[in-house]
Amino acid sequence: MAKTIKVERGDITKYQVDAIVNAANTTLMGGGGVDGAIHRAAGPALYAACEKFHGCPTGEARITPGFQLPAKYIIHTPGPIWHGGEHGEADLLKNSYRNSLQLAEHYHCQTVAFPSISTGVYGFPVEQAAVIAIKTIREFLAASRWVQEVIMVAFDPKTEAAYQKAL
């Protein structure tokens, strides 16, 4: 199977893939946006599983089961908060994608779906974020053994257009 990157519009909580990625915060205790949607759909067992991590630094990633989601695993990564672009935001965002993919690889995931990390409440400009995301995913896929397909799931048309353009 050839390795692929796709951009689609949709709700990531509905994806039946090996792993979906959650744009979490450093507490890993849930929040708004995609994080809230994932916690609502996965059920309270997710909260109990996340509690055991005692948080996660920005750019790192942690994995849990998918619980009530169609996805087998949820990979949680806190992306950077945008502070103008000169506080290491680009490197931290790259780390979020790379560390999430490394965990997916370790768990032998073939298909992985990402939301647009950091471009909601965290304020990272979506055009810049999309270029970083696509580049990091492409580099990773060139050397991966297990991960075959990565889907960028955009929630709105502007996000979808930015990732299509970056692709």
Q: Give DSSP secondary structure letters for 86-99.
A: -SSHHHHHHHHHHH
Would you count residue 163 as binding ligand ADP (CB under 6 A)?
A: no
Tokens 């849990």 -> residue: 64
Would you count residue 159 as binding ligand ADP (CB under 6 A)?
A: yes
The residue among 31 and 146 lying less far from ligand ADP, judged by its C-beta, is 31
Give the span between the Cα atoms of 89 and 55, in whole angstroms: 19
Please give the backbone phi and psi of residue 145, each rounded to the nearest 5 degrees, phi first.
-100, -40
- Which residues fall within 8 angstroms of residue 95, CB to CB, at 6 or more apart? 58, 59, 60
Query: Which of the ranges 33-41, 54-62, 84-92, 143-151 carries the binding residues for ligand ADP, by CB under 6 A?
Result: 33-41
The residue among 24 and 63 lying less far from ligand ADP, judged by its C-beta, is 24
Q: How many CB atoms lie within 10 A of CB 58?
A: 20
From residue 113 to residue 142, the character string flagging contacts with ligand ADP as x (rule: CB under 6 A) and all else as - is --xxxxxxxx--------------------
Q: Which parts of 85-114 interact with ligand ADP (CB under 6 A)?
A: none
Interacting residues toward ligand ADP by CB under 6 A: 11-13, 23, 33-35, 37, 79, 115-122, 153, 155-156, 159
